Structure 1
Amino acid sequence: MSMMKIKFTFQKRVRLAQGLWLLSWAAMFSGMVVFFMGVFLKTELLRRSEVMHNDDIHVVPNLLMVVGLASVGINLCAGRICQDSMDVARFARWKTFLTPFFIGSLLFTFMFLVAMALSYALQASLEESLKIGLKNGIRFYKDTDTPGRCFQKQTIDHLQIEFQCCGNNNFRDWFEVQWINNRYLDFTCKDVKDRVRSNVDGRYLMDGVPFSCCNPASPRPCIQEHILDNTAHHNYDYQTEELNLYSRGCRQALVSYYMGLMNTIGPGVLSVFMVQMSMLASLRYLQTAMIGVEAEDMEVETEGYILEKGLKETLEEAKETLKALLRLKGGQVVDETTEGDAEAGASE
């Protein structure tokens, strides 16, 4: 028994083709929107690639761009099919192509859901990538004269200012690394020599942070050195000076930013998926409704359906077809192996 069967008169088929033509254009523009959303997300990820350890998260914008472009192509074809459906002779050219086109379009459409699911599933990977990337970025902050790291300081400073954050987890991360280049340290100064000698790695560590950690909302001039020393500054208590430095870590800030982008993109992708599925359902009805139409009698009443048989029967048929294909392929492999063995025996 056919699934979701509907009877179509000539007028209904015309209205279906006209509605599908409009829907295909709406779905095409939606696909373009998805493509540009993928481009935007890709650009935002590349902008901060220096503070990311791996590129796993890039699979989301890449997939969005692919399915967006595929959607544009699918809907352009669907629009042309609608136009040709008014002429039985021209529509006949599509008949052998429509079933594989429909199946391929369905697979690409479900990739929208895959992209949306990955945008949430890869949050842990994004966080881990930023954790390692920011840690390395802070460690190499001072290497302004090292090839390949010359702009690391600039990147970190811009990042902390733009996202109003400090360090990886918080401002204390700067206490664990030497972030001042040796060329800017006076090694004749006793304080500098004592700090370097007191560290087993010979690093100059201090309870200070770069200027980019300073919060402009602070009512007093920024204190970025001797942060933990209350006696070094007048009327100062580092435990109560909450506005002096940004308290949020950059990892948290970036994860929130990117997940905010993906949470915005997700509903948009879901909406496009619904539009695309509506287009494919309408196309399927048009395809099946045109099966019984002949050039001599365009006004004949026909039936359209989503599946020729029930869902269970269709799945069983697909399963059997797949098994037959696998057996055929396996038989070809066996025949090729037997033929190869026979040739080898003949040569001996």
Structure 2
Amino acid sequence: MCTFFFTFCVLVGALMCYSMHGELEESLNLGLTEAIRFYKDTDTPGRCFLKRTVDLLQIEFKCCGNNGYKDWFQIQWISNRYLDMSKKDVRVSDLVISYQDRLRSNVQGKYLMDGVPFSCCNINSPRPCIQQQISNNSAHFNYEHQTEELNLWMKGCRQALLEYYTHIVQSIGLTVLITWLFELSVLTGVRYLQTSLENGLRQGDLNSESDGWLLENGLMETARINLNIIKNIGKCNQIDTANNGDPNIDVPSSSIAH
């Protein structure tokens, strides 16, 4: 019974490897969003490692941002330590004239711009990486940001990590599933061997042919019998108090009164 239960748990584990895709994607999305948001906090204890971690992530997995490189446009990823607040394009401005001005203005105390960290640069780009004023075609010679797919990594890190971990999880799930099928075949063969030997012993001749089976009774009947066995496991150690409620009534005295 325990062996079949263990085999069932192995099957459940294999199926879970294929059913956790949504939870994995949600966790990656939340984690990457928080990591990018705190990218600039290089002087904050507990967050100072995030910049290096995100940069290594984007370089290794050839990705940029959470969903794409435009995610960096929506946050301030440069620390205030490296911003000259005396400059006009850095100071807080309530006047937003155009899309470009909005990106370069300080919105709600955050310095936003259409730029990305260096780790977003595509190493296969035939030209020097353009990581500042990405949306401004006139700022760069012979440049069209809507067609320059080789300049930055276009894939978001969430998608890159999801593909990476999905491949690992599915490989593990396939391995576990194959292991489960092997265990099931072994258990089936052993069960047939056990029951056929029992029938041979009952016939008194182990060399004669005898039938074997997986379940002596029906499936529901077998499940009910095993359930009753589990329920009665601890009953053999219970004290019988049926005789006048005294558990020691049948225990002989070890001493004789004088």
TM-score by shorter chain over 0.5: yes
1:147 corresponds in structure 2 to 45
2:82 corresponds in structure 1 to 184
1:153 Cα deviation after fit: 0.7
The DSSP-based 3-state class of the residue aligned with 2:190 is: helix
1:173 equivalent to 2:48? Answer no
- Residues 304, 153 of structure 1: CA spacing in aligned structure 2 closer, same or farther, 3 A cutoff? farther
The DSSP-based 3-state class of the residue aligned with 1:226 is: coil
Higher helix share: 1
Q: How does 1:99-248 map to 2 (within 5 A)?
A: 103-193=1-91, 198-248=105-155
User: Of the candidates 168, 172, 179, which is equivalent to residue 265 of structure 1?
Assistant: 172
Higher relative contact order (CA 8 A, sep 6+): 1
2:213 corresponds in structure 1 to 306
- Supply the RMSD in Å over aligned alpha carbons: 2.9
- Percent of counterpart pairs with the same letter? 51
The separation in 1 between residues aligned to 2:131 and 2:179, in whole angstroms, is: 49
Question: CA contact under 8 A between 1:143 and 1:149: conserved in structure 2?
Answer: yes
* Structure 2 unaligned spans of 5+: 96-104, 239-244, 246-258
1:253 equivalent to 2:160? Answer yes
User: Of the candidates 309, 315, 325, which is equivalent to residue 220 of structure 2?
Assistant: 315
The DSSP-based 3-state class of the residue aligned with 2:51 is: helix
Give the residue type in structure 1 aligned to 2:15.
A
The separation in 2 between residues aligned to 1:155 and 1:299, in whole angstroms, is: 68
1:196 Cα deviation after fit: 9.4
The separation in 2 between residues aligned to 1:324 and 1:217, in whole angstroms, is: 67
- Residues 286, 323 of structure 1: CA spacing in aligned structure 2 closer, same or farther, 3 A cutoff? closer
Question: CA contact under 8 A between 1:281 and 1:306: conserved in structure 2?
Answer: no
The separation in 2 between residues aligned to 1:180 and 1:200, in whole angstroms, is: 14
The separation in 2 between residues aligned to 1:113 and 1:308, in whole angstroms, is: 20
Question: CA contact under 8 A between 1:175 and 1:207: conserved in structure 2?
Answer: yes
Question: Per-residue displacement from partner, 1:128-172 (whole Å, max 9, x unpaired)?
Answer: 111111111100001111111111111111111111100000000
- Residues 305, 242 of structure 1: CA spacing in aligned structure 2 closer, same or farther, 3 A cutoff? same
The separation in 2 between residues aligned to 1:169 and 1:326, in whole angstroms, is: 54
Q: TM-score, normalised by structure 2?
A: 0.77
- Residues 206, 323 of structure 1: CA spacing in aligned structure 2 closer, same or farther, 3 A cutoff? same
Question: CA contact under 8 A between 1:164 and 1:246: conserved in structure 2?
Answer: yes
1:274 equivalent to 2:181? Answer yes
The DSSP-based 3-state class of the residue aligned with 1:190 is: coil
The separation in 1 between residues aligned to 2:232 and 2:191, in whole angstroms, is: 30
Question: Per-residue displacement from partner, 1:17-53 (whole Å, max 9, x unpaired)?
Answer: xxxxxxxxxxxxxxxxxxxxxxxxxxxxxxxxxxxxx
User: Which structure is larger by alpha-carbon Rg, 1 or 2?
Assistant: 2
The DSSP-based 3-state class of the residue aligned with 1:285 is: helix
The separation in 2 between residues aligned to 1:320 and 1:309, in whole angstroms, is: 11
Find runs of 4+ consecutive structure 1 residues off by over 4 angstroms: 194-198, 323-329
Q: Provide the aligned length of Structure 1 versus Structure 2.
A: 226
1:335 corresponds in structure 2 to none
Question: Per-residue displacement from partner, 1:162-208 (whole Å, max 9, x unpaired)?
Answer: 11100000000000111011111122333222569844421111100
Question: CA contact under 8 A between 1:171 and 1:246: conserved in structure 2?
Answer: yes
The DSSP-based 3-state class of the residue aligned with 2:210 is: strand
* Structure 1 unaligned spans of 5+: 1-102, 333-338, 340-348
The separation in 1 between residues aligned to 2:131 and 2:75, in whole angstroms, is: 15
Give the residue type in structure 2 aligned to 1:236.
Y
